[in-house]
A and B are shown apart, each in its own frame.
Chain A
């Protein structure tokens, strides 16, 4: 019932994830952050099986940091995504597969901003915008209509707000708060949480008569 959204702009990647942490029919936490910092300019959003998300995300983050310590420089987004894919694919046919869907967004000087979409099987693809979860059925069409190459940060946030409004309008599960982060040359910036735009309820004229005239 989770939703992750990633949008690649001109020189940044905008990532958002719903902030509900739940089990079965209960919402246990309403301000949960599903995005994990892999390095200064690498962000990973993870959704899926409860423990797997945190375990796998932290495992990858620590390994990315280890590379940094050993070699003195950060892994590129593509390399980090490939490393993550290799781990997911290797574990898939082991006795302990990870059921985690990921979006990896990052910035490096050679390739600029990149967004990688990865599902729990380990299929990886570079995309201009990617969505995980049931929300994808509603949001991808909105993206197809309004997304354009080289968007500015403001335009991307407007697009993201549209997506969140659409989920609120049509998705049966109430996801009324999204954590939002932007990755760019300067690093990872935490933005304000986004909520669906509340529409003013229409004025209903007093009590209406139900008499059959």
Chain B
């Protein structure tokens, strides 16, 4: 079986007028056996920069560790938190270093670009997806990854519209994820949805079909 499908899992990120919403399923499996229904795949790099990692769980945990190190050193060296586009490029370099023995992860980076720490309406929603060897693909609307990526593409293309508010975006992203993973045997067991706005970051757990 493909290394990217061994543990299962799916993630999606969508942008709105001045917010981003990240969502992931909660399953961790070993081939056909489900081991945990509590494994979130959205990780925080700074107060308004997040990364969703899907793929082989050991590499998710390794890559997140390396990214966290990078983000923490950034704060010490630059005196400010890392932004999503900066994190994307750092991640790309990190992954390409292992070009011929790659980390089996499909990351999606999302957050608010130019976040200065105050609610001044100057920050811009940012989302970018990368492949397992670090090819960056910046998007204006949404990005998906994981075992049900095809389903997620279909759902997102159908439901996404421009300039959604944070609440509308939450509903849309959750609907896309839930309906996509319900058709995928390797994803599911609940969802974790993180809404990122200038004012706050809110994480909600959705109890979906438990199968």
Interface residues of A (CB under 8 A from B): 85-86, 88-89, 92-93, 117, 119, 121-125, 127, 130, 136-137, 140
Interface secondary structure of B, over-half rule: mixed
When C-beta atoms are compared, the residue in chain A nearest to B6 turns out to be A121
Q: How far is the CB of A55 from chain B (nearest CB, A)?
A: 20
Contact between B101 and A123 (Cβ–Cβ < 8 Å)?
A: no
Contact between A125 and B58 (Cβ–Cβ < 8 Å)?
A: no
Contact between A117 and B58 (Cβ–Cβ < 8 Å)?
A: no
**With A92-B58, A123-B61, A127-B35 already in contact, 19 other A-B pairs whose C-beta atoms are closer than 8 Å:** A85-B58, A85-B61, A88-B58, A89-B61, A89-B62, A93-B101, A117-B36, A121-B57, A122-B61, A122-B62, A123-B7, A123-B28, A124-B61, A125-B38, A127-B36, A127-B38, A136-B33, A137-B33, A140-B33
Bound CA–CA A127/B34 (angstroms)? 12
Bound CA–CA A45/B174 (angstroms)? 39
Residues of chain A within 8 A (CB-CB) of B30 are: 119
Residues of chain A within 8 A (CB-CB) of B36 are: 117, 125, 127
Residues of chain A within 8 A (CB-CB) of B57 are: 121, 123, 125
When C-beta atoms are compared, the residue in chain B nearest to A140 turns out to be B33
Residues of chain A within 8 A (CB-CB) of B101 are: 93
Contact between B62 and A125 (Cβ–Cβ < 8 Å)?
A: no
Q: Is B193 an interface residue (CB 8 A)?
A: no
When C-beta atoms are compared, the residue in chain A nearest to B56 turns out to be A121
Interface residues of B (CB under 8 A from A): 7, 28, 30, 33, 35-36, 38-39, 56-58, 61-62, 65, 101
Residues of chain B within 8 A (CB-CB) of A117 are: 35-36
Residues of chain B within 8 A (CB-CB) of A92 are: 58
Q: How far is the CB of B150 from chain A (nearest CB, A)?
A: 24
Contact between A89 and B39 (Cβ–Cβ < 8 Å)?
A: no
Contact between A89 and B33 (Cβ–Cβ < 8 Å)?
A: no
Contact between A125 and B56 (Cβ–Cβ < 8 Å)?
A: no
Selected A-B contacts with CB under 8 Å, 16 pairs: A86-B65, A89-B58, A89-B61, A117-B35, A117-B36, A119-B30, A121-B57, A121-B58, A122-B61, A123-B7, A123-B28, A123-B57, A123-B58, A125-B57, A136-B33, A137-B33
Bound CA–CA A88/B33 (angstroms)? 22
Residues of chain A within 8 A (CB-CB) of B28 are: 123, 125
Contact between A122 and B33 (Cβ–Cβ < 8 Å)?
A: no
Q: How far is the CB of A129 from chain B (nearest CB, A)?
A: 11
Q: How far is the CB of B94 from chain A (nearest CB, A)?
A: 15
Q: How far is the CB of A27 from chain B (nearest CB, A)?
A: 25
When C-beta atoms are compared, the residue in chain B nearest to A88 turns out to be B58
When C-beta atoms are compared, the residue in chain A nearest to B62 turns out to be A89
Q: How far is the CB of B149 from chain A (nearest CB, A)?
A: 21
Residues of chain B within 8 A (CB-CB) of A119 are: 30, 58
Bound CA–CA A36/B33 (angstroms)? 27
Q: How far is the CB of A111 from chain B (nearest CB, A)?
A: 16
Q: How far is the CB of A51 from chain B (nearest CB, A)?
A: 22
Q: How far is the CB of A17 from chain B (nearest CB, A)?
A: 18
Residues of chain A within 8 A (CB-CB) of B56 are: 121, 123
When C-beta atoms are compared, the residue in chain B nearest to A128 turns out to be B38
Greatest chain B CB density within 10 A among A117, A119, A121, A124 is at A121
When C-beta atoms are compared, the residue in chain A nearest to B101 turns out to be A93
Q: How far is the CB of A158 from chain B (nearest CB, A)?
A: 24
When C-beta atoms are compared, the residue in chain B nearest to A120 turns out to be B58
The 9 A-B residue pairs with the shortest CB-CB distance in the complex, in nearest-first order: A123-B57, A122-B58, A121-B58, A123-B58, A125-B36, A89-B62, A89-B58, A125-B39, A125-B28
Q: How far is the CB of B188 from chain A (nearest CB, A)?
A: 15
Residues of chain A within 8 A (CB-CB) of B39 are: 125
Bound CA–CA A140/B61 (angstroms)? 24
Residues of chain B within 8 A (CB-CB) of A136 are: 33
